[in-house]
Structure 1
């Protein structure tokens, strides 16, 4: 890339850490970002990673991280032509700083955002309900948690309930409550992933505990859907859909994510495992019903991606999490605009490579005319 050109800037939220054994920097999502940088080099695209804190307003310069010789090196990098935002959920103050930085960078050098922000789950469900009857049926019954009375209402209406942060990820902060002979059992995972379990004497006591655990954060409440396999392992189906090099939605792959027996979350960060979706569904539904269910998920994932873009603006990729009941009923639990790739890492057929490549091809499409294609990537950094 010529010195005046930008590049693909991958924006991350977490700070790099020094690996004590190798002495090298490790970034959040290091494996994915390393694969992304390698594939970008093969495609002759200039790519680097940066953080909000790397921008220097006085000099209008940006410090980032470039992959060279198998390691990340800190460099002054050009202002990006395309920004691939991989920041996770942000608190209100973080969102303001995030928006201010993007505005400042765009003022200095106009850029294209590869992927927008997906709002919370309650807004996602509303978009599904407003799109088509078929997608509307995927939205679970949901209440926004306003106060302890909302919790009591949900518990009285549905019995067993499931609560999760409206804008959360990775299964953190989830809470489940179910009646039992001696009262109510409240289980969950704290925001740092630690398990919690408490027996309460009655509905009112359980609702009070849940309200304290939520602590004023924005939560949703749903009936606890029957989303476990025969061994009592919670599971969901992750569908990864991405734009290709022509800007069209494509299904990259589907995976079943299974949690631990007796757990309440299927997320891999809680110690779960992944297997191809059709294999997992066959164990649950039988081969014929599994194929029908998987085909429906494939189709509805693409339809839901279109609906999300119509409601919320452009996205480059989405991770859609489907719940499947024992009779094959589908629920769309959430859509994530910063999907991970862990569930597909060991799958055959090149899915992991495709999952890395497609955002780059779409970035190249969006950047046409901005000089993104690089003849000498190393010349852009110093």
Structure 2
């Protein structure tokens, strides 16, 4: 009996057809063979639409080499495509539309603003959301600055800590603000002090050409001056149930306003960082359990709202009192944070779970929850 086939759908990073997560896919293909799942990688560019064939990237664990082979369409698709400003992304949208009838393990989520609005519908989640507005004018900036001495400006769509400004109202200085951040290419902006009128001008310029959020800042600065947060990975398991795979702490690079690993941050075990941050192992354990409960409920709610999902990463802020805030939700999460924190078992599990879930979907002839009509922006 032939093995079930899973196609990992991704996008090339450039015209040279480089893949961002090739090493991850290599490990997943190897693990897939061990559990009886045939896995290959492809992009929309590799589809021969008239023949319904795919010029797939295939990895052979025995030789350690990649090759190209023409393959029929897989029974299931695991969508790893992140938003790009490119013709490749437009090609992806057409692919998703044309092959919408196929079994996708995961469907796209919407942008950060729509996810925030969706969470805001339920009191269960409202208490865990930083105050957030969609930026239209200086009035939005001033509204959140009145209630929060620190705010962030972030793109409504985007990942990796790009295009983020951190603004802090300085104490004992009349109407002056400290401003720092990261540009779209992740370069750190040197901190500087500006007046309110200058701040309004900078933010207006920053937000030209896109949609941006103004968000309340949560106090996350460690004693050494670096910022931190927590990455929690929620995945479907081999029984089709949501489960927390793991949680890790992220500490940002020096002078960085974000904790993203791509921006030079480093990872540590969540329980270690939480114990130091909250002051005791008991408080850390309580925060971990509350975070897990929140993450499982959030995943189920977002799946009900947007359609089939197989995994989500929640970026969490936890303040000194142990209050938990959802900063972002990432439906295409990297899992290197666990490898970098030294938690090799959680990293292995994070790679294996989508494969085990794919087998469950195949064996149950289950197309997962219904397809949403909403599209990614």
- Counterpart of 2:226 (choices 228, 233, 247) is 233
Provide the residue aligned with 1:293 in structure 2. 287
SS of corresponding position for 1:98:
helix
C-alpha distance in structure 1 between counterparts of 2:93 and 2:149, whole Å: 41
Report 1:102-251 matches (<5 A).
102-105=96-99, 111-131=102-122, 133-180=123-170, 181=173, 183-197=176-190, 199=192, 201-251=194-244
Is residue 65–residue 75 contact of structure 1 (8 Å, CA) maintained in 2? yes
Specify whether residues 355 and 217 from structure 1 end up closer, same or farther in structure 2 by C-alpha distance, changes over 3 A only.
same
Is residue 259–residue 266 contact of structure 1 (8 Å, CA) maintained in 2? yes
> Is residue 367 of structure 1 aligned with residue 362 of structure 2?
yes
Aligned length: 358
- Counterpart of 2:305 (choices 301, 306, 311) is 311
Is residue 11–residue 81 contact of structure 2 (8 Å, CA) maintained in 1? yes
Deviations 1:321-379 (A, max 9, x none): 11011221110111111011111115346211111111011111222377xxxxxxxxx
Specify whether residues 354 and 279 from structure 1 end up closer, same or farther in structure 2 by C-alpha distance, changes over 3 A only.
same
Deviation of 1:184 (Å): 2.6
- Counterpart of 2:36 (choices 44, 52, 62) is 44
Deviates more, 1:298-307 or 1:179-188: 179-188
Deviation of 1:8 (Å): 0.9
Deviation of 1:207 (Å): 1.5
Deviation of 1:46 (Å): 1.1
TM-score, normalising length: structure 2: 0.88
Q: Which runs of 5+ in 1 are unaligned?
A: 19-24, 371-382
Deviation of 1:15 (Å): 4.3
C-alpha distance in structure 1 between counterparts of 2:214 and 2:177, whole Å: 16
Deviation of 1:90 (Å): 3.7
- Counterpart of 2:10 (choices 8, 12, 25) is 12
TM-score, normalising length: structure 1: 0.87
C-alpha distance in structure 1 between counterparts of 2:67 and 2:243, whole Å: 34
C-alpha distance in structure 2 between counterparts of 1:95 and 1:15, whole Å: 10
Deviations 1:237-264 (A, max 9, x none): 1111100111100111110111124421
RMSD of the TM alignment (CA)?
A: 2.4
SS of corresponding position for 1:217:
coil
- Counterpart of 2:352 (choices 334, 338, 357) is 357
Deviation of 1:156 (Å): 4.6
Provide the residue aligned with 1:21 in structure 2. none
C-alpha distance in structure 2 between counterparts of 1:198 and 1:228, whole Å: 15
C-alpha distance in structure 1 between counterparts of 2:194 and 2:317, whole Å: 31
Provide the residue aligned with 1:324 in structure 2. 318
- Counterpart of 2:19 (choices 12, 27, 31) is 27
Deviations 1:110-151 (A, max 9, x none): 5211111121222222222223x3322101100101134433
Is residue 131–residue 144 contact of structure 2 (8 Å, CA) maintained in 1? no
Between the two structures, name the one with larger relative contact order (CA 8 Å, sep ≥ 6): 1
C-alpha distance in structure 2 between counterparts of 1:168 and 1:111, whole Å: 27
SS of corresponding position for 1:321:
strand
